[in-house]
Chains A and B, each alone.
Chain A
């Protein structure tokens, strides 16, 4: 007789902790926004005071990540398994990994300027996770009870985190090269232009995005293969064009296109940046719309 011990009280505590981390993410996000607007200011004194804000933002972000991480761990303990088996759990774990990778990458590459995006995006994900996706701890359906859940999903989440950061860089690239930003006379756009002026050069943005995307692509390829191995065990065929398999394939193909675009005359630069963004939009689509509304064997949202 199989039995498990779930701890719904602990799950509620975990939820509270993650809500707490959102306060810190908000504070970090605001610091980064103020930092950018000050940097872009025309007054010199304001610009000089800005660095402190940025440092405060990063400290707040790190604190938020620690709190967030403990919430994720508690969720795992409450469910007595890995905390990535339904949409609520994918969201909290995935966004945590994005923040961790971002913080680690800060030591290696100067990508501080997308901190606003990363903290804002994390806030958005955690907010929707709490409001829309929340479910109490449940056991896994037998098809999910496999060590492939640990490997396949974890690597998919990691890949997504890399694609996410790359998409942020590509979005900055698109704005920076946009004609309408260049030519506009609106006051708001002028501010945006000054902020963009603070970002690394477009060449730098492009090559940084490329580096995050290649790691993402390797991890996504692994995800695809691991998924097929698991499908062979659970559903007696390694590939059956199930909706989730279709979208994993589509995403993989878009990023393969992106890699080719980088080596094709007339396609590197703006077009490949768009491909990276489209790829990431496909990932978000796969995660939300496909999970919730498409029919298929992968019905793991945990929502009715």
Chain B
């Protein structure tokens, strides 16, 4: 295949001669540069990018689904490390994916910069002179007229084409006209905007952060690093970016449908009512109060960030007392929903007692017993709530210093004393009930039921600029694909006049344009001599 140039006649650059590469270093580097910035390379890189993106939808990704990755490692202990070595769990930050898009953008810059210069010149220069042979053009037409008519044709053509938005020059008996510079402008704006998108994604992502916090009704958290359960900073994040406002979850409400038969139990709306205290400046300590409702799709704007609602569930309030009646555990514990009906799983750890113990507990908002004896929840709202508990005694593993997941209980060093195969039935508590824990562990009370909200405090300054560039790209590509760019020439002949036109890219109406110009100039209907415009 010959070295790659565009197949269509180019309006801007004259066809480059196809140089066979010389062996000099300069020659080679010029050759390599030309390969990289060629249209075919751009095309191949684009297709490679499409293919390279596929595995990220097949394998779980650390960025989007870290639990999925852990699970994958558990299920495929042999395969997973191999896949990990070739970065299949981090496809979009992998060396190979990055290599493709970086090359693509180098190619893009190498391609667009020279084109911009050429186009800038074209914008200022006059349309080129009429070709010698009009019949060589994709659409052309010869028209016979009277002598008197043909004498005025150049002048008329100039007026006519100018009115139609062409840039027109007249040289003697011939007129050259060109329109649709916006097509190339649009193309360049599009490609340049893609660079803008990439930069905004990169720079904005570096300054971004997002922190997650599970908040039970009545609880407050402060927007600082210690206030979050988990935190994901960008590369350039600085702690000073966090404005230390505090947010209290006053109330969390859910509407479930229990009217429409086909829809029973479907959540219709989640509302987190919050109140916040916002410091007005670093120097003085005045606080401004702000209240608001956060919903899915409706984050709350705070200074330097937005607060989003990303999840919710029940938080039963539980009190545990030892055999003497001293409170050893008390509070509302967030239970993670396991099903659409909000069957939820929670873990309670009681470390500060003689014999450490832990509880794995299930919560059923509207409990029902299956034929097998297993429990289930029929409806997500708390119509008939029930807590069940399995109790384990032994080392909770909290003293090791390594951070422990508050939603999981490592029972490997513990003995089960209630529920399962322990020989003692698991505990069951209705709202308000107190039951005895096995052995002499004391009692447990299900005091009340609260809800929790998972909130996400996020900031990404790049987002705005990504949007600006993306919209510019959209506008650019629309112009570039839909604005026709064409040249039209008109010239007086012995017997009348002739018209020809040449288009860049796809121009479905090239012949019609020629026919219409001819018609307007001669005052009669005509037919083009050549058909195919492409």
Contacts and interface: CB of A to CB of B under 8 A. Distances in A.
Interface in B42-75: 42-43, 46-47, 49-50, 53-54, 56-58, 60-61, 63-65, 68
B39 A218 contact: no
A20 interface: no
B262 A236 contact: no
Interface string B209-223: 010000000000000
A253 B42 CA distance: 11
B146 interface: no
Contacts, number: 173
B505 interface: yes
B433 interface: no
Interface in A229-251: 229-230, 232-243, 246-247, 249-250
A214 to B, nearest CB: 4
Nearest to B298: A233
A131 interface: no
A137 B262 contact: yes
Interface stretch (B136-144, B393-401, B464-472): B464-472
A264 B6 CA distance: 5
Contacts of B285: none
Nearest to A135: B262
Contact of B4 (A228, A250, A264): A264
B299 A211 contact: no
Most-contacted residue by chain B among A210, A236, A256 (CB, 10 A): A236
Contact of B57 (A230, A238, A259, A294): A294
B506 interface: yes
A250 B54 contact: yes
A138 interface: yes
Interface stretch (B172-180, B267-275, B520-528): B267-275
Interface stretch (A22-30, A45-53, A90-98, A142-150): A142-150
Interface residues of A, number: 65
A3 B257 contact: yes
Interface stretch (B126-134, B440-448, B455-463): B455-463
A263 B8 contact: yes
Interface string B278-310: 000000000000000001111100000010101
Contact of A6 (B8, B65, B263, B473): B263
A41 interface: no
Interface in A251-299: 253-254, 256-257, 259-268, 275, 290, 294-296
A246 B39 contact: no
Contacts of A247: 57
Interface stretch (B116-124, B240-248, B357-365, B474-482): B474-482
Contacts of B8: 263
A121 interface: no
B46 A257 contact: yes
Contact of B306 (A221, A236, A290): A236
A260 B267 contact: no
Given A142-B295, A241-B64, A254-B50, A217 B481 contact: yes
B260 A4 contact: yes
A2 B505 contact: no
Given A207-B534, A263-B8, A264-B43, A242 B257 contact: no
Contacts of B460: 237-238
A186 interface: no
B255 A250 contact: no
Contact of A142 (B92, B270, B467): B270
A8 B40 contact: no
Interface residues on B, range: 35 or more
A223 B456 CA distance: 26
A26 to B, nearest CB: 30
B497 to A, nearest CB: 29
Given A141-B266, A264-B43, A207 B50 contact: no
Given A246-B57, A254-B50, A211 B263 contact: no
A179 B416 CA distance: 73
Given A207-B506, A265-B4, A2 B477 contact: no
Nearest to B533: A207
A276 to B, nearest CB: 13
A260 B46 CA distance: 9
B50 A3 contact: no
Contacts of A264: 4, 6-7, 39-40, 43
Given A142-B296, A264-B43, A265-B4, A290 B57 contact: yes
Given A265-B7, A266-B40, A294-B57, A225 B474 contact: yes
Contact of B255 (A2, A229, A262, A295): A2
Nearest to B258: A3
9 contacts: A137-B263, A141-B266, A233-B298, A234-B296, A257-B47, A263-B6, A263-B505, A266-B4, A267-B40
Given A137-B263, A141-B266, A207-B534, 11 more contacts: A3-B268, A8-B261, A142-B270, A143-B296, A203-B534, A207-B508, A236-B308, A241-B61, A260-B42, A265-B1, A275-B47
**Across the A-B interface, the 9 shortest Cβ-Cβ residue pairs:** A265-B7, A236-B308, A142-B296, A6-B260, A253-B50, A2-B269, A136-B262, A257-B46, A246-B57
